Amino acid sequence: MPRHPDPLLEKRILDAACVLWGQGGTHALTMRAVAKKAGTTTPTVYERYQDRAEILHALRMRTRSELFESLICTDGLAEACEEYLQFAMRNRHAYEVLFDGVAQPPSIHEAWPSFNLMRDRLADRLDGSPRSHTRLMLALWSLLHGAAMLIIRGEFEGALQTQTIHSCIDAVEMIVSAAGNSNLRRRSGPEWPANLNLGEGQERRHKRRGRSGRQAKKAGNTSRSRRVR
């Protein structure tokens, strides 16, 4: 009897790779170890992924997509920032993989949809084009990522984790409010280079929306309800 393909095999392989990377980094991530952890054979893993780098790329792309889908359903910048941190808490190993060597090829040349989405939200708050706020978005992203990694690597739990998340969100709000006040704007160093584009890659940027993802979803549900009636 012919064997049926396992629809969850690739998910198991990537989940296994994620756990192994979290346990020992690239040294623990061998094709044989991935196969054992995923409950399959080494040749089967090689049939789907050429090498460890290809597995890490697939894991990065999956995590990037899941993070974006999580953020697009939020309302406004503050809620997106909170969900960003909560996503990192729920997916600690995958989050670390996502940002390992993020500024090096091939990641630096890929699209960063979550960065672009939050930059769009920032532009909605402050007006102007999203690209005009790239430098500020980089600062906010650094703040969020620093808090996420502090919680993850420091093993923050309970009240300390909660306070760290919300102190980070409060800091983001204060920075954005200050950025909206022309009298408080300060800039150190050179202007942002016109040819330095972060996270846009070769893909179409996330479109700015007049309504948030959650509001659009509610509107869609209402529209469907009316059609049923």
Question: Do residues 172 and 140 touch, judged by C-beta distance below 8 A?
Answer: yes
The answer as to whether 190 is a domain residue is: no
Name the nearest CA neighbour of 114 among 220, 200, 48, 191: 200
Please tell me the distance from the alpha carbon of residue 100 to that of residue 175, in angstroms, as a whole number.
Answer: 27
Q: Is 205 in the same domain as 94?
A: yes
* Shared domain check, 97 and 17: no
pLDDT of residue 208: 42
Q: Are residues 129 and 214 in the same domain?
A: yes
pLDDT at 206: 43
How many CB atoms are closer than 10 A to CB 37?
Answer: 19
Using an 8 Å Cβ cutoff, are 161 and 151 in contact? yes
Does one domain contain both 17 and 79? no
DSSP-derived 3-state class of residue 111: strand
Tell whether 16 is covered by a domain: yes
Q: Which residues contact 106 (CB under 8 A, 6 or more apart)?
A: 57
46 within 8 A of 32, measured Cβ to Cβ: no
Tell me, yes or no, whether 83 and 143 share the same domain: yes
Same domain? For 118 and 23 the reply is: no
Q: Are residues 36 and 12 in the same domain?
A: yes
Total domains in the chain come to 2
Is 115 in the same domain as 210?
A: yes
Rounded Cα distance between 72 and 83, Å, is: 10
- Residue at 56 is within a domain: no
Check whether residue 44 and residue 68 sit in a common domain: no
Say yes or no: 125 and 27 in one domain: no
> Is 68:114 a contact under the CB 8 Å cutoff?
yes
Do residue 74 and residue 14 come from a single domain?
no
Residue 153, H or E segment: helix 134-154
Residue 38 belongs to some domain of the structure: yes
Taking the chain (229 residues) in consecutive chunks of 10 residues, what is each chunk's mean pLDDT? 67 93 86 94 94 92 95 94 96 91 87 94 92 94 97 96 96 93 76 86 48 45 40
The beta strand positions in 160-226, using DSSP E, are none
Q: Is residue 147 part of a domain?
A: yes
Domain range enclosing 219:
63-184+195-228
What does pTM read for this prediction?
A: 0.80
Residues 60, 108: Cα–Cα separation, whole Å: 12
User: Apex CA 5: angle with CA 65 and CA 53, to 5°?
Assistant: 45
Whether residue 189 lies inside any domain: the answer is no
Look up the CATH number of the domain holding residue 34: 1.10.10.60
What's residue 214's pLDDT?
Answer: 46
Determine, yes or no, domain membership for 54.
Answer: no
Judgement on whether residues 45 and 143 belong to the same structural domain of the protein = no
pLDDT (0 to 100) of residue 219: 45
Q: What are phi and psi of 200, to 5 degrees?
A: -95, -30
- What distance in Å separates the CA atoms of residue 150 and residue 73, rounded to the nearest whole number? 26
210 falls within a domain: yes
- What span, in angstroms and rounded, lies between the C-alpha atoms of 25 and 62? 18
